[in-house]
Amino acid sequence: MNRLQRGMGATLLTFATAALISATALADPSSENLVSKKQSASNSNAAKQLSSWPAGPRLAGHEMIAKYGQPQEVTDHRMIWHDAGSFKRILLTREELPHHFPIVHMDYLEHTISYNVPHDKADELLAFDGAISIYRVGGELSARCDLESNNVLTLNLAHDIIEGKKNVEQARKEFGEAVMARTAAENPELTAALQFKRQAPEIAADTDSVTIPGAPQPADAKGKATDPDAETLALLIAADMDEVHAAMIASDKKIDEPILAFARMLHEAHGKHLKATAEVGMSNNITPIVTKKVSALQDKHADALAKIVPLDNDAFGPAYLEFMVKAHSDAQNMIDKRLAMTKNEEIKKHLTETRETITKHLQEAKSLQGEATRVTAL
C-alpha cells in the first residue's frame, strides 16, 4: 500500500471504526435496540476474524460492514456479502495478491455483477485489467482491487469497452486519470456508482452449448420433451453417467478386489453403453432431452451416492454393492415402463438389450453381496 492509499484509508478507517462501534452497541442485549442472537453471533464472528487479518483486508472488511452490514458468509479466509447494493456479490479475502495497475497495491476485495460478456470482448477486458474475472455460465463479471471505488471504475470502463466507446489503451489511461482525480477530491462519476443498467441474472447467464454428438440437450421452459423417446434416451444416458461416477469413486477406495473389479467392469460397460445410446438417438434423428424426470433421476442417484462416499474403505464396499443392487433394480423397472411407451423398433431393441445387461449386473452385485456376507459370518 503506497503513501497516497494510506492517507485515503485513514479517513475510511475512522468511518468504518465508528460504524463498527455502532454495530457492537446494537448487538448488546442491554441496548434499547435488541437484535437476534444469530445476528449478534454473526457480528462477533466477523469482527473476530477481521482482528487477525492483515491491515488492508481488515480495513476493507470494516468499510463493507459499515456500508452493507454483516456478511452472510464468514470463514478464516474470506467473507461474502450477497445482493449488497448494486452488486450480486462482494467477496473479501484474507489473502492479498500484488497488482501493479495503475499503481502498486494489493488485491483482496472483489465486486461481482450480473453481466453477459460477449464472447468477442473477453480478450479485450482481460487486456484492460488482469484482475477482471468473467464467468459466462453464471453470467457474472467481477473486478478485484483494494477499494470499492476502484472496482466500480473497472466495471464502468469494462462496460465502455464492451459497448465500443473505448479501446483497451483508452480505458487503461482513463483508469489512472480517474484514480488521480479522486485523490484531488474531484469524485469522478465512474468511481462513484455503476453508470449502466444492471442486467437480471437470468438474462446475463450463458449456459453455453452441447458439443458432444448425441448428448442430451436441455428441455423446454416447462422441463418437458415433446417426444417421449427423447426422454427415454436421456434417462438411459443419465443412468449410465451415474454408474460411471459411482465406479470412479469406488476405484479410489481401498476395497476388496472382487468389488473393485466389479466397479471397474461397470465403469467400462456403462461408458460403452452411454455411447451406444447416443448413437441410437443420432441414427433415428432423436435428440435426448433432459426433462424434470431426468433431473430427478440424477438427483436421486447423487443423494444416494453422497451418503456412502464418506464411509471408510471397509464400510464403503458393502454400501456400494447395496447401492448397485438398488440402482440396477430401479433401472430394470424404468426400462420396462419405457418399453411400453416407445413405438420405435430400434429403441425397443436397444432397451431390450440394455435390460439384459442390467440384469446381469444386478445378479453379479447380489452374488458379491452374498459372498461378502458369507465371509463376514466366518
> How do residues 198-244 score in pLDDT, each as one tens digit?
899 988 998 888 999 999 999 876 667 789 999 999 999 999 999 99
pTM exceeds 0.85 for this model: no
- 335 touches 355 (CB < 8 A): yes
pLDDT tens readout for residues 340-365: 999 999 999 999 999 999 999 999 99
Is residue 2 pLDDT above 70, yes or no? no
Contact 247, 264 (CB under 8 A): yes
- CA-wise closest residue to 319 among 241, 253, 233: 253
Averaged pLDDT, 75-94: 97
Amino acid, single-letter form, for residue 44: S
Mean pLDDT for the stretch of residues 276-299: 96
C-alpha dihedral (310, 312, 315, 316), degrees to nearest 10 = 60
> Given the DSSP bridges, would you call strands 73-74 and 78-84 parallel, antiparallel or unpaired?
antiparallel
Whether the per-residue pLDDT at 375 is higher than 60: the answer is no
pLDDT score at 202: 87
> pLDDT value at position 29?
41
Under the banding of pLDDT at 50, 70 and 90, the label for residue 35 is very low
Q: What angle do CA 149, 150, 151 make, to 5 degrees?
A: 90
Q: Residue range 138-151: average pLDDT?
A: 97
Total number of residues shown for the chain: 378
Q: Which of 197, 292, 319, 167 is nearest to 238 (CA)?
A: 292
Q: With 90 as the cut, is the pLDDT of residue 39 above it? A: no
Confidence class for position 18, pLDDT limits 50, 70, 90: very low
Q: How far is CA 319 from the centre of its chain?
A: 29
